Structure 1
Amino acid sequence: MKLSVLDRSRTREGGTHAQALRDTVEFARQAEVLGYHRFWVSEHHGVPGVAGSAPTVLAAAAAARTSEIRIGTGGVMLPNHRPLVVAEQFGVLESLFPGRIDMGLGRSVGFTEPVRRALGHGKDDAAEFGVQLDELLSYFTGDAAVSGYPATGLAVPPFVLATGAGAQVAASHGLPLVIGAIRGEQAMVEAIDGYRARFRPSRWAREPYVVVSTAVAVAETTEEARRLLLPEAWSMAYSRTRGEFPALRSPADVLATPMTDRERKYFEESLRGTIFGTPTEASAELDGLVRRTGADEVLLTTSTYDRTAMLTSYRLLAQTLPTQPLLTTTA
């Protein structure tokens, strides 16, 4: 089982955006020591609880701090950018860190209408994702009307982050698929089945390749692991009821916060489908997820208030998997 990491540079109550970004770069180094396959960063705009707004810049910092682990984006939201600029940015990354860069691409637009206006894009722009993807890839193959130096001629592996229609785009373009159970596991499995059935081999991938993304928390006890997921679940509930995604709060603060019925509903929904438990329990659940989806790789994310507990979670999980080349470290 290939295990990789997605870090969204979450801010913590009382902390700063600068600290969150520095933590992400240091986390990349620690993920490499633990033997994880990839380390990806994300793109969010105008979100108080997320510092990662420029994924290619952050990926460069993470790549400079590491030496072997693959570094990439999970992902660059293509509707927010001109394909030529994205190609140039990844061309620079691949030129500086050859053979280690992944180009994860998504079709989402801004979180709110004011953010979308600031970016100069609207919800309808997501419908042009397939066209934008064609243009972006053409700069690497040299088939574009202009040269996208230094991307031209470079082979930067592209991945499509998708739900629903996005999976069809990945299949038609012959690209690896990254997918999570946002709409429930059954919907995710159906999307994966459709992707495999419609997949058309390309110069980028001869066979379907599926990366399943999921939230995971591991601790010495099941209850302790569940508590690690509470800060992110509360942030999700808060954002869906108030339109703003806040910094992470401690599990104790979350448990002490009165919730409306609506907030409680979203809070519980956010916890549903996550994986948590002791190392043995979490490993078994991941095995089950891989069996049910046929995933080639799992992309893990753990957002919690206690950063030390988060790093312990990744370490405990890595130690349960014989295929993960755990290295020794004093970090």
Structure 2
Amino acid sequence: MASLSVPVSILDRAHIREGFSETDALSAVLERAEAAEETGYRRFWVAEHHAVAGIAGSAPAVLMAALAARTNSIRIGSGGVMLPNHQPLVVAEQAATLQALYPGRIDLGLGRSLGFTPAVRTALRAGPEDAEQFEEHLAQLLAYLDGSGPITARPRDRGRTPVFVLATGTGVEIAARAGLGVVLGGPALFRRNSAGQTGALERYRRAFRPSDRFPRPYVLAAVNVAVAGSETAARELLLPEAQALADSRTKGVFPALSGAGNRTSSSARWQDLVRATLETSVYGTPGQVQARLEELAASAWADELLVTGGAFDIEGQRESDRLLAGLF
């Protein structure tokens, strides 16, 4: 069986699991990164979620420092830092400091999502206007990093840190105008135009302006992936997170992942949400997953795949990561 044609990376959201502590959740992220490095993944990224009951990953810069210290060569990054929640200079300084400590290993992925609830947005002092100013704040951050702004972030980054924009479809033009890499996942990744290509990414490539960071477009296609000995077993790995996402959208709370993966709800919307998450995921045996990922990479013109999704079954997730690594 031929290897996957593109590199593969991991995004870990630091899920909390029922019966385990938040310390256990963060320790599992560190251990997973070590294993990812050993098996050949290109990058290991972490995310930013505030006051979410089922996620321990709230401070990506802190977690990135711990990950970089525990590994030797794998690239460490954010997927992402939510720029509306922070002053651009502070984000630039954090990235530049990490890059100075771990030269050539740090990535900065930036998103424009606000806090999940009004209380979180109030605590972060973030509002809709902050999301609307994302492109302006992104330009400021880049200027602080490359020394072209009114002040320069210290330590000096000199444009060494690759910067990516997390896009939901409409954000691809922002990444293109800034000459940055783009990360696209979710339903937008699966929407096809008449030529069978991903429409959002076609707009990105058409509008892309070369920059010192990216002389050509660069696409990370983010998708939930699980690999196991059977399609059913792989689906079971993804089910707890799909159910937690459905809980978050119907009850307003993303809970800790539950081992009761076959639980259900009388709510038709809840069931539809679980089904929709699984339909935009890739799972199955190694052969099934390889064929689907190759198809996805081709339709998205992907330069790299970013594996997302968390499992309650830690051993099952480790085996999935190992089996997937065997494909590249």
TM-score by length of 1: 0.94
Q: CA deviation at 1:306?
A: 0.5
Cα distance in 2 for residues equivalent to 1:260 and 1:8 = 27
Cα distance in 1 for residues equivalent to 2:219 and 2:150 = 32
RMSD over aligned Cα atoms = 1.3
Alignment of 1:249 with 2:258, yes or no, is: yes
Alignment of 1:278 with 2:285, yes or no, is: yes
Cα distance in 1 for residues equivalent to 2:243 and 2:212 = 43
Greater displacement, 240-249 / 120-129: 120-129
Cα distance in 1 for residues equivalent to 2:7 and 2:225 = 15
C-alpha distance 184-135 of structure 1, shift in aligned 2 (>3 A):
closer
Q: CA deviation at 1:152?
A: 4.4
Cα distance in 1 for residues equivalent to 2:188 and 2:176 = 19
Letter aligned with residue 233 of structure 1: A
Question: 1:224 pairs with 233, 237, 240, which one?
Answer: 233
Give deviations 1:125-168, integer Å, cap 9, x for gaps: 11111101110011121112123111442511111111122111
Say if 2:169 and 2:184, in contact at 8 Å, map to a contact too.
Answer: no
Structure 2 counterparts to residues 227-306 of structure 1, below 5 A: 227-250=236-259, 253-306=260-313
Correspondence for 1:326 = none
Say if 1:173 and 1:202, in contact at 8 Å, map to a contact too.
Answer: yes
Letter aligned with residue 98 of structure 1: P
Question: 2:218 pairs with 209, 213, 229, which one?
Answer: 209
Say if 1:90 and 1:151, in contact at 8 Å, map to a contact too.
Answer: no
Letter aligned with residue 147 of structure 1: T
Equivalent position SS for 1:275: strand
Say if 1:226 and 1:276, in contact at 8 Å, map to a contact too.
Answer: yes
Letter aligned with residue 237 of structure 2: L
Say if 2:243 and 2:274, in contact at 8 Å, map to a contact too.
Answer: yes
C-alpha distance 228-145 of structure 1, shift in aligned 2 (>3 A):
same
Q: Percentage identity across aligned positions?
A: 47
Letter aligned with residue 222 of structure 1: E
In structure 2, stretches of 5+ residues that fail to align are 1-5
Question: 2:140 pairs with 131, 135, 146, which one?
Answer: 135
Alignment of 1:74 with 2:79, yes or no, is: yes
Count of aligned residue pairs for this structure pair: 319
Letter aligned with residue 247 of structure 1: A
Give deviations 1:203-247, integer Å, cap 9, x for gaps: 111111111000000000111111111101100110010001000
Alignment of 1:24 with 2:39, yes or no, is: no
C-alpha distance 283-125 of structure 1, shift in aligned 2 (>3 A):
same
Equivalent position SS for 1:39: strand
Correspondence for 1:48 = 53
Cα distance in 1 for residues equivalent to 2:162 and 2:29 = 22
Cα distance in 2 for residues equivalent to 1:262 and 1:184 = 22
Correspondence for 2:3 = none
Say if 1:71 and 1:101, in contact at 8 Å, map to a contact too.
Answer: yes
Greater displacement, 258-267 / 89-98: 258-267
Equivalent position SS for 2:280: coil
Question: 2:70 pairs with 56, 65, 69, which one?
Answer: 65
Structure 2 counterparts to residues 101-116 of structure 1, below 5 A: 101-116=106-121
Cα distance in 2 for residues equivalent to 1:77 and 1:42 = 9
Structure 2 counterparts to residues 166-205 of structure 1, below 5 A: 166-183=171-188, 185-186=190-191, 189-205=198-214
- Runs of 4 or more, structure 1, over 4 Å off, are none
Alignment of 1:39 with 2:48, yes or no, is: no
Q: CA deviation at 1:59?
A: 0.5
Cα distance in 2 for residues equivalent to 1:255 and 1:314 = 23
Letter aligned with residue 269 of structure 2: R
Greater displacement, 157-166 / 30-39: 157-166
Q: CA deviation at 1:184?
A: 5.8
Q: CA deviation at 1:302?
A: 2.9
